[in-house]
């Protein structure tokens, strides 16, 4: 593939760059999230999302009839590349527009699409994804949150955990168990849930990094109309797979310092002469280039009108571990000062400390390292599947505890 822009792509890149330059500041030393408080960040994020939607940049590949631009996948890639150079407050909408709304579009009714898609695109409503539970993280199909039919409604009881953004979300897609008498993958059903309704309790989790992006969510006799079901009863796993494949693509990269940042710090700290560090630096550089070429493979598929496959799991494994290793080495370089997290006193605004605390979460979110390695082994390399002794066992006969 020729990675230079075609004439049309170059024109779109120039158009995108001009639009971004008109509305945003280039990235600085500190991201916007660190310079303003939470309420101000959210206000700016909603304002930016509305601006993008009104000008056809919110979801470039989506059809015009549902609010998109009707553009090409390569235009979306170009937009993402250019937007990444600016201080764009996009975080609150990544899950909703990257995972939840595509699921609504694929399995929801015309009424669902009319009601939810436009508001999400314009930043008027924020969505979260309610899958993981205390006993069902990597094994999503092992979830226990129950949905019991009561007339034209379902009554939901259970708990979700590690739900990103639940504390500021308006709606969510909720995976539940509706039939425990069949094997675990066959008794699931997906719903749209109003996060503000009675019986929904959100408890933010205080993370080691100091942030509170993840949440526990409790459902106590929450009633959801059957009309807010996504897909058929008992077919929730099929619906969830669509969401999960979008999730793998959305969280493929990891923000934070890379080999160039730690090399710059090593020069400043005078440790570039350390042979062991230089060997590590070479490994990080090679891994970064390998990931870059893997992304080119995805771009090649997109440019040919193909859908990127399970190889997207490679990027997440590489970058999350890569980030943790780089930050750990930088902290070790700082010796006993490495325990300090004050951004005003530490080199690089304490980005190594902050990212080190955040990196383990990236190795879990969107699928653990182990799950993603299995996906690569089975679906990319064609290796035999792991033995799954509970695959055909009714869920209510499975041992737990």
Question: Are the beta carbons of 270 and 338 closer than 8 angstroms?
Answer: no
Which range has the worst mean pLDDT, 150-159, 226-235, 307-316, 329-338?
307-316
- For the chain, how long is the longest CA-to-CA vector? 72
Integer Cα distance of 364 and 362 in angstroms: 5
Which residues, in sequence order, are bridge partners of residue 193?
Answer: 172
pLDDT at 343 over 80: no
Counted residue by residue, the chain has a size of 401
Kindly state the average pLDDT of the residues 25-54: 89
DSSP string, 60-86: TTS-GGGTS----HHHHHHHHHHHTTB
Phi and psi, residue 133, nearest 5°: -135, 165
All domains in the chain, ordered by first residue: 7-89 (1.10.540.10), 127-247 (2.40.110.10), 252-364 (1.20.140.10)
Q: What is the pLDDT of residue 357?
A: 85
For the chain, the average pLDDT equals: 88
Q: What is the pLDDT of residue 35?
A: 82
Which pLDDT band, with edges at 50, 70 and 90, does 307 fall under? low
Which pLDDT band, with edges at 50, 70 and 90, does 24 fall under? very high
pTM score of the predicted model: 0.86
Integer Cα distance of 353 and 276 in angstroms: 21
Residues 6+ apart with CB under 8 A from 320: 254, 359, 362, 363, 369
DSSP state of 187: S
Helix or strand or coil: residue 133?
strand
Which pLDDT band, with edges at 50, 70 and 90, does 257 fall under? confident
Q: What is the pLDDT of residue 249?
A: 56
Which range has the worst mean pLDDT, 103-117, 183-197, 337-351?
337-351
Kindly state the average pLDDT of the residues 189-218: 92
Token couple for 70: 């009707």
> Residue 231's closest CA among 190, 194, 193, 192?
190
Cα 118–Cα 192–Cα 163 angle in degrees, nearest 5 = 100
Q: What is the pLDDT of residue 391?
A: 79
Kindly state the average pLDDT of the residues 344-366: 80
pLDDT at 270 over 70: yes
Which pLDDT band, with edges at 50, 70 and 90, does 248 fall under? low
pLDDT at 164 over 80: yes
- Greater model confidence, 394 or 359: 394
Locate all alpha helices (DSSP H) within 228-344, ordered by sequence.
236-250, 259-269, 275-303, 312-333
Kindly state the average pLDDT of the residues 338-357: 80
Token couple for 399: 């041992």
3-state secondary structure 151-219: CCEEEEEEEECCCCCHHHCCEEEEEEECCCCCECCCCEEEEEEECCCCCEEEEECCCCCCCCCCEEEEE
Cα 260–Cα 77–Cα 288 angle in degrees, nearest 5 = 25
Residues 361-390: tens digit of each pLDDT: 888 877 788 888 888 898 888 999 888 888
CA trace torsion 362, 366, 371, 374 (10° rounding): -110
Token couple for 79: 């937009």
Which pLDDT band, with edges at 50, 70 and 90, does 195 fall under? very high
Which residues, in sequence order, are bridge partners of residue 192?
Answer: 173
pLDDT at 167 over 90: yes
Which residues are part of the catalytic machinery? 247
Torsion-angle region of 80 (φ positive above 0: left; ψ -120 to 50: alpha; else: beta): alpha
Which pLDDT band, with edges at 50, 70 and 90, does 310 fall under? low
Residues 6+ apart with CB under 8 A from 148: 154, 155, 157, 178
Helix or strand or coil: residue 120?
helix
> Residue 222's closest CA among 151, 297, 136, 156?
156
Kindly state the average pLDDT of the residues 334-361: 81
Residues 6+ apart with CB under 8 A from 174: 130, 145, 156, 160, 190, 191, 192, 193, 219, 224
Which pLDDT band, with edges at 50, 70 and 90, does 206 fall under? confident
Which pLDDT band, with edges at 50, 70 and 90, does 351 fall under? confident
Question: What percentage of the chain exceeds 70 in pLDDT?
Answer: 93
């Amino acid at each position: 593939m020729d990675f230079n822009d075609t004439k049309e792509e170059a024109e779109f890149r120039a158009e995108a760059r001009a639009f971004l330059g008109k509305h945003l500041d280039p990235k600085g030393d500190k991201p916007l999230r660190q310079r303003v408080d939470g309420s101000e960040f959210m206000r700016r994020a909603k304002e930016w999302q509305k601006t993008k939607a009104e000008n056809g940049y919110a979801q470039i590949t989506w059809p015009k009839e549902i609010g998109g631009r009707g553009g090409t996948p390569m235009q979306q890639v170009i937009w993402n590349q250019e937007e990444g150079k600016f201080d764009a407050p996009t975080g609150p909408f990544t899950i909703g527009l990257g995972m939840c709304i595509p699921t609504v579009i694929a399995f929801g009714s015309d009424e669902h699409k009319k009601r939810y898609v436009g508001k999400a695109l314009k930043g008027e409503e924020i969505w979260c994804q309610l899958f993981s539970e205390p006993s069902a993280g990597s094994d999503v199909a092992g979830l226990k949150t129950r949905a019991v039919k009561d007339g034209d409604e379902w009554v939901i009881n259970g708990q979700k955990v590690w739900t990103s953004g639940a504390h500021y979300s308006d709606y969510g897609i909720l995976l539940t168990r509706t039939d425990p008498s069949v094997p675990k993958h066959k008794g699931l059903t997906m719903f749209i849930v109003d996060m503000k309704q009675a019986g929904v309790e959100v408890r933010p989790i205080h993370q080691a990094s100091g942030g509170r992006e993840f949440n526990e969510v409790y459902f106590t006799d929450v009633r959801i109309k059957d009309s807010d079901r996504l897909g058929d009863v008992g077919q929730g796993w099929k619906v969830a797979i669509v969401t999960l494949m979008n999730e793998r693509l959305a969280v493929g990269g990891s923000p934070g310092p890379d080999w160039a940042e730690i090399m710059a710090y090593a020069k400043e700290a005078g440790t570039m002469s350390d042979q062991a560090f230089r060997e590590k630096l070479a490994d990080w550089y090679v891994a970064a280039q390998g990931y870059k070429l893997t992304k080119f493979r995805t771009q090649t598929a997109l440019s040919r009108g193909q859908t990127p496959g399970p190889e997207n799991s490679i990027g997440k494994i590489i970058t999350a571990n890569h980030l943790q290793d780089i930050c750990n080495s930088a902290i070790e370089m700082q010796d006993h000062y490495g325990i300090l997290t004050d951004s005003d006193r530490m080199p690089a605004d304490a980005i190594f400390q902050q990212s080190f605390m955040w990196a383990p979460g990236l190795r879990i979110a969107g699928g653990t390292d182990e799950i993603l390695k299995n996906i690569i082994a089975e679906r990319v390399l064609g290796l035999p599947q792991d033995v799954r002794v509970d695959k055909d066992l009714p869920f209510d006969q499975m041992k737990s505890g």
